[in-house]
Structures are given as C-alpha cells and as structure tokens.
C-alpha cells in the first residue's frame, strides 16, 4: 500500500476545495501547520479556507499574513476537510463535528492514541510537530520552504520542541529547520516577533502565579493555578497562561508540573513531565490527551477537587515510573 504521505499528496493534487482546521485554543504547532497548509494549497492554485472556533489568539497576531481564520463554518461546503494536530475529532470543536462525520477527512497528527478518525490518516507519534509533517508534504509536492511557508513551519517546529530542547527534536527536525534557514529565514527577528507580544499586566499576572507555586509529593510535583479572580483583577485571560507550566520544571526535584486554570467550561489542566513519566496516561484517565511529556484536559469540578485529583493521579504515575 502507498504510504500516507504519497496518498495525501495525490489526493490534494486531485481535489479543489479545502477546509483546513486544527484544535480549539490553537498553539504554535496548530497555527503554524494550518497556515502552512493554506500556503501550500494557495501555491497549488487550490481554493482553501481556514476554520477554528477560537480564531487567532492575540499573541499570534504577528503571524497573520492577511489571511483570516473563519470562526464560523462557511456557507460553501468543502470537498474535503484537513484536520491538523487533533488527537481526536472532538478536539476540533463542536461546530465542525457534523462535517467531520459526513465529509472526507484528512487527519494529519502526532498525538499518542489518535483513533485514526479520518478517511485518510497520517499519524506519526515520533515526529516533533504536525508542522514537520506538513513540511514534508510541501517537499513531496515540490514546494520549497521559503518565505511565509518557511516561517509557519519554523513556528510549528520550535513550538512543539520547546525551542529544540525536548526529546522529540530529531535529526530530521533540525534538518528541516536548517533547510528553512538556508531558504532565508532569520532566527533573530523571528524570535523577537514571537516573544515580544506581551503586556505588563500579563507579566505581573504570571509573576503572581509563580509566587504562589506549591510543591507536593516530597517536592516531586510542582503546581501553579490561575483563578478567575486573578484573571479579572489583572485584566488577563486563559490565553495569557501559555507556557508558564514549563517554568515549574525549573525546580530541581520536580518531576511533574501541573497547571490548573479556571475557565468557563471547567478546570483546564496542563501536565509536563521530565524523563519517562507518562503524563499522557494521566490526562487520558481524566478524558484528556497529549504526549508522554506534555498533556492536558478539562475537569468538570471545582478548583480544589481538580487539584486534589490531579496531585493524586500524578503521584501514582510517578511511583509507577520508578
Ligand atoms: Mn502538535
């Protein structure tokens, strides 16, 4: 059987109308791979729209090249839907779910336990990011990783590898990054754009949260929490919490970092681990998902019970990994 990359490339060449989507509350990989896919399809002369219920978060406003992300489904129905970086179809949000059940779907992902919900599925758990997969698709289609396309793929690569620090940084990842630099991307200005997007309020809110960090399980678990009250006091929101959970791993003996935040739908949690501790399994036990060292989900309980349940489950996971 033809490998998924080649099948998807052939399918794309033969199809005209696309809708590209990714998970709600999109991160750098989700957005980078979605914009990159839109760029590839534009270069091929195809008609494509991007859709995401959450729209483009403010901190990513700098990547928009005049292309809009629809937050409502378009009137014109696409021939096919490309779903990027979604560990399951529900992650794409509720609005698009009916179409995901009734139209051809190309599922390109790298999450553990992706149930292969697409008509065509290309799921590689070992690959750093969906952006890296989309970069390979561009190469397969003979499109160089230059200009905006290079930037989008680069954003995806650095976002999901923690600036090329995590174990998912493979030789192939760096070779793709090298190719993008060869094609002209300058890392200095790129990182300035990416990192200088904040406000004093956000900085101080993050400071408060770190100030109140707590340790559990003999210092092996570090926990930070974002309350609705804090968001209100500092005129910030859940989108301003991005990445702070990683800062907790700074503490020497901490094996797992937990971040919990109060949102409309419930308590959203993020887990980060060092080494072999599998936080994807912990998240999955609460209906969430992710990767071995980075996972998350949502709990429909109050803040205190959420913290207790998570600390308990993570303590168990740490013991099992010993
Ligand atoms: Mn990803």
Report CA(295)–ligand 1 centroid distance (Å). Answer: 11
Confidence grade of residue 23 (pLDDT, cut at 50, 70, 90): very high
Which tens digits make up the pLDDT trace of 89-130? 999 999 999 999 999 999 999 998 999 999 999 999 999 999
Residues with CB under 5 A from ligand 1 (ion): 29, 85, 160
| Stretch 262-282: mean pLDDT | 95
Q: 302 alpha carbon to ligand 1 midpoint, in Å?
A: 28
For position 305, what pLDDT does the model report?
A: 97
Give the pLDDT confidence score for residue 224 in this predicted structure.
98
Domains in the chain (CATH in brackets) are: 4-194 (3.90.1640.10), 200-321 (3.10.310.30)
Position 197 scores a pLDDT of 86
Distance from residue 159's CA to the centre of ligand 1 (Å): 8
> From the CA of 84, how far away is ligand 1's center (Å)?
8
Average pLDDT over residues 256-285: 96
Distance 129 CA to ligand 1 centre (A): 5
> Given a cut of 80, is residue 264 above it in pLDDT?
yes
CA 95 – ligand 1 centroid, Å: 21
Q: How far does residue 167's CA lie from ligand 1's centre (Å)?
A: 14
- 40-99 pLDDT per residue, tens: 999 999 999 999 999 999 889 888 767 899 999 999 999 999 999 999 999 999 999 999
Instruction: Please report the pLDDT score of residue 193 as a whole number.
Output: 87
Q: What is the pLDDT of residue 304?
A: 97
Task: Compute the distance from residue 85 Cα to the ligand 1 centre, in Å.
Answer: 5
Query: In 10 A of CB 291, how many CB atoms?
Result: 22
pLDDT of residue 321: 85
Report the chain's mean pLDDT, rounded to a whole number: 95
Determine the pLDDT at residue 140.
98
If one counts every other C-beta atom within 10 angstroms of the C-beta of residue 178, the result is: 10
Q: pLDDT at residue 239 above 90?
A: no
Distance 157 CA to ligand 1 centre (A): 9
How far does the centroid of ligand 1 lie from the alpha carbon of residue 161, in Å?
9
What pLDDT band is residue 322 in, cutting at 50, 70 and 90?
confident
Residue 275 CA to ligand 1 center (angstroms) comes to 19
CA of 233 to the centre of ligand 1 (A): 32
3-state secondary structure the chain: CCCHHHHHHHHHHCCCEEEEEECCCCCHHHHHHHHHHHHHHHHCCCEEEEECCCCCCHHHHHHCCCCCEECCCCCCCCCEEEEECCCCHHHHCCCCHHHHHHCCEEEEECCCCCCCCCCEEEECCCCCCHHHHHHHHHHHCCCCCCHHHHHHHHHHHHHHCCCCCCCCCCHHHHHHHHHHHHCCCCHHHHHHHHHCCCCHHHHHHHHHHHHCCEEECCCCEEEEEECHHHHHHCCCCHHHHCCHHHHHCCCCCCCEEEEEEEECCEEEEEEEECCCCCHHHHHHHCCCEECCCEEEEEECCCHHHHHHHHHHHHHHHHHHHC
Q: How far apart are CA 245 and CA 222, in angstroms?
A: 9
Query: Distance from the CA of 218 to the center of ligand 1, in angstroms?
Result: 32
Residue 63, pLDDT score: 87
Predicted confidence band at 194 (pLDDT cuts at 50, 70, 90)?
Answer: confident
Q: Average pLDDT for residues 152-173, to the nearest whole number?
A: 95
Q: What integer is the mean pLDDT of 134-142?
A: 98
């Amino acid at each position: 059987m033809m490998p998924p990359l080649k099948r998807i490339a052939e399918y794309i060449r033969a199809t005209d109308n696309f809708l590209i989507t990714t998970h709600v509350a999109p991160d750098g990989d989700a957005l980078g791979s979605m914009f990159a896919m839109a760029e590839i399809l534009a270069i091929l002369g195809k008609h494509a729209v991007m859709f995401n219920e959450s729209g483009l978060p403010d901190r990513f406003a700098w990547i928009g090249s005049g292309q809009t992300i629809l937050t409502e489904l378009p009137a014109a129905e696409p021939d096919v839907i490309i779903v990027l970086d979604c560990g399951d179809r529900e992650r794409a949000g509720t609005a698009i779910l009916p179409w995901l059940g009734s139209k051809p779907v190309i599922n390109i992902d790298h999450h553990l336990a992706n149930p292969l919900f697409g008509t065509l599925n290309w799921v590689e758990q070992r690959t750093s990011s969906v952006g890296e997969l989309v970069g390979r698709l561009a190469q397969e289609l003979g499109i160089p990783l230059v200009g905006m396309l290079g930037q989008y793929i680069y954003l995806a690569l650095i976002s999901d590898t923690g600036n090329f620090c995590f174990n998912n940084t493979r030789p192939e990842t760096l070779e793709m990054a090298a190719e993008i630099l060869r094609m002209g991307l300058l890392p200095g200005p790129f990182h300035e754009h990416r990192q200088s997007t904040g406000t004093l309020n956000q900085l101080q809110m993050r400071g408060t949260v770190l100030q109140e960090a707590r340790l559990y399980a003999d210092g092996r678990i570090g926990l930070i929490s974002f309350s609705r009250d804090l968001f209100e006091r500092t005129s910030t929101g859940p989108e301003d919490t991005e990445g702070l959970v990683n800062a907790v791993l700074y503490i020497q003996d901490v094996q797992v970092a937990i971040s919990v935040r109060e949102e409309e739908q419930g308590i959203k949690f993020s887990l980060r681990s060092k080494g072999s501790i599998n936080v994807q399994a912990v998240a999955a036990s609460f209906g969430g998902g992710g990767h071995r060292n980075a996972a998350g989900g949502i709990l429909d309980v109050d803040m205190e019970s959420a913290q207790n349940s998570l600390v308990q489950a993570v303590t168990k996971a740490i013991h099992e990994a010993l």
